[in-house]
Amino acid sequence: MDSSAVLNELPRLRRYARALVRDRAAADDLVQDTLERAWSRITQWRPGSDLRAWLFGIMHNLRVDQLRRPGLNTLPMGDEGFEVPTRATQSDHLEVNDLEAALARLPEDQRVVLLLVALEEMSYEEIAGLLGIPVGTVMSRLSRGRERLRLILEGRPPSTNLRVVR
């Protein structure tokens, strides 16, 4: 594994991380952790094997660890959150935010498969190998994820987490 090969993969790792975790800084942190772990485990890398798959696998494992960690994701607040808009600006980026917001509402395992298929154009077999799950599971996550995303984007949200209690 040489530096230029890693550098070549960086933009794609960033794209995937951004789509996966949404928050720009958190996404780059994930990429950074991935690179650090990759170099620390360089002895496990088999020359000639697929570098991209290896790096995506590391990132996937880090992300799984991250989600398992208990506790809230606490973000220090910048000032930008406190600007009181003088007019309604919420709809300015509606379409863009719609897609990101809709994606954020998918369960993580469905989002992962959807993004690896759509953005990385990986084959279903590659994804199964990367995630360590059967191809059938990849297909069912893809199927459920796509349908869920479709309903959300069409404004017909699937069941939400907060149910009304009567």
Partner 1 sequence: MSKLPITEADLHAWVDGQLPESRQAELEAYLAGQPGEAERLNAYRAQRNALRQHFNPVVDETLPARLRQLAEKPPVPVDPQKRPILERWSLQRIAAGLAIALLGGVAGWFGRGQYQAVDRMAQLTPLPRQAAVAHVVYSPDVKRPVEVTADQEDQLVKWLSKRLGTPVSPPKLGAIGYELIGGRLLPGNTGPVAQFMYHDSSGQRLTLYVSTEDTVDRDAGFRFAREGPVNVFYWVDGKFGYALSAGIDKGELARVATTVYDQLEHK
Give the binding site for partner 1 (CB under 8 A). Answer: 2-3, 6-7, 10-12, 14-15, 18-19, 28, 31-32, 35-36, 39-40, 42-43, 71-77, 81-85, 90, 96, 99-100, 103, 114-115, 117-119, 121, 123-124, 139, 142-143, 146-147, 149-150, 153-154, 160-166
What is the identity of the amino acid at 157?
P
In whole angstroms, what is the distance from residue 108 CA to residue 104 CA? 8
Tell me how far, at minimum, the Cβ of 66 lies from partner 1, in Å: 14
CA-CA-CA-CA torsion for 79, 82, 86, 90, nearest 10 degrees? Answer: 100
Tell me how far, at minimum, the Cβ of 18 lies from partner 1, in Å: 5
Tell me how far, at minimum, the Cβ of 117 lies from partner 1, in Å: 6
In the block, residue with structure tokens 């017909």: 156
Tell me how far, at minimum, the Cβ of 105 lies from partner 1, in Å: 9
- Decide: 27 and 20 in contact? Cβ < 8 Å: yes
In the block, residue with structure tokens 């990132």: 59
> In terms of CB distance, is 53 or 99 closer to partner 1?
99
> In terms of CB distance, is 48 or 72 closer to partner 1?
72
> In terms of CB distance, is 14 or 52 closer to partner 1?
14
Q: Is 155 left (phi over 0), alpha (psi -120 to 50) or beta?
A: left
In whole angstroms, what is the distance from residue 153 CA to residue 145 CA? 12
What is the identity of the amino acid at 5?
A
Tell me how far, at minimum, the Cβ of 64 lies from partner 1, in Å: 18
